[in-house]
Each structure stands twice: as structure tokens, then as C-alpha cells.
Amino acid sequence: MMSTTINPTKERFWRVYQISLETSVRKGAASKAITEYLQSIGFTQTQISPTLLFERGSNLASLYNFNPKSQKTEVSVDFASAGEQTIVELTMRINCFANQPLSKDYEFWAAELDGIQDALDHGYVNPAISDFAAERALWYNVSIMLGVLILTISLTITAAIVWMILAVV
């Protein structure tokens, strides 16, 4: 697991994570583990060489879908060797157009990055953690949206009642 929470940088409407992971497995095995993990959580591989590129989601999904898994996400993976260690340079870009990510969205993205580290460390793929974090973020986002909607409707009805009372007087 990654020891600290990483905050993404903001590039216009993109959130960008850039991390370096160290592993003792060779480049080929690391590439295979990362590819299997990312494909198990819904990414499609768009490029193999020289950089591994993966994509998931839609550019405009943040306008209509509360699930962070539906947002356009791009992952690029590069490898370097340092002695007996393989260094994995990973960049994950998430399109947040017209969407303000909430805390559960950041937890979801951290869970996906932790899944990559787990795949490298243990050699197995566990998409359940990503799926659980996505569902948790989805329902959190829906509950926040419903709370704002209820508050807006309540204030509108209250304002209409006050206006009607003042209009009669």
C-alpha cells in the first residue's frame, strides 16, 4: 500500500496524479500486472510501446453521471531500472469538466492507485476495492446532490409562501 495520500495537481479541468512506484519484479512482469489490473477495473489499453497508455470513461460523463468511474481517465505508465529495482512512473489524468470532485472521489482515485501498488507487490489483481470505492463515491455524490436539491426546493417554497403572505398584506 502507498503510505501517504497524494493530492493531484490541477491542470484546467483535469486532476493529475504523478507517482513513482518501486518494485523488485522485472519490467515485463510489472507491465503484465499493471495491464491486468487496469483492464480488470474497466480501462482499455490504447498503446503498448514505448509508453503503456490506458483510457476509461467519457469526456462529458461528469455532467450526467455521479460515478467517478465513468469520468474520462487516462493512465500512462513508463518503466526504468535502478539496480535490481524497477521504477514505475505513472501518470493518471481525470477529466473533471463541470464537476467539483468530493472527498469520496479522491478516495476512489487513491484506491485505484493503491490497487496498482498491490498488483506490483503481490502479483494478484483485486478489482473489488476499486468497485467498492466507486460505489461509495457514487452514493455519496448522489446524497449530496439530493441534499442540495431538497434545500433548493425548500427555500423556493418558503420564498413563494412569504411572497404570497406579503402580497395579501
pLDDT at res. 5: 60
Contacts of 39 (CB under 8 A, 6+ apart): 45, 54
pLDDT digits (tens, 9 = 90+) for 41-65: 999 999 988 899 999 999 888 888 8
Question: What would you report as the CA-atom Rg of the chain, rounded to the nearest whole angstrom?
Answer: 21
Angstrom distance (rounded) from CA 63 to CA 55: 18
pTM for this model (two decimals)? 0.84
Closest CA to 73 of 55, 97, 46: 55
> Domain boundaries in the chain?
9-168
- 14: cell is 483535469
- 88: cell is 514505475
Domain 9-168 has CATH 1.10.10.410: no
Neighbours of 62 (CB within 10 A): 24
Angstrom distance (rounded) from CA 118 to CA 97: 30
pLDDT at res. 1: 42
Q: Which residues in the chain land under pLDDT 70?
A: 1-5
Is the distance from CB of 20 to CB of 88 less than 8 angstroms?
Answer: yes
Distances (CA, A) of 51 to 2, 42, 72, 76: 23, 19, 19, 6
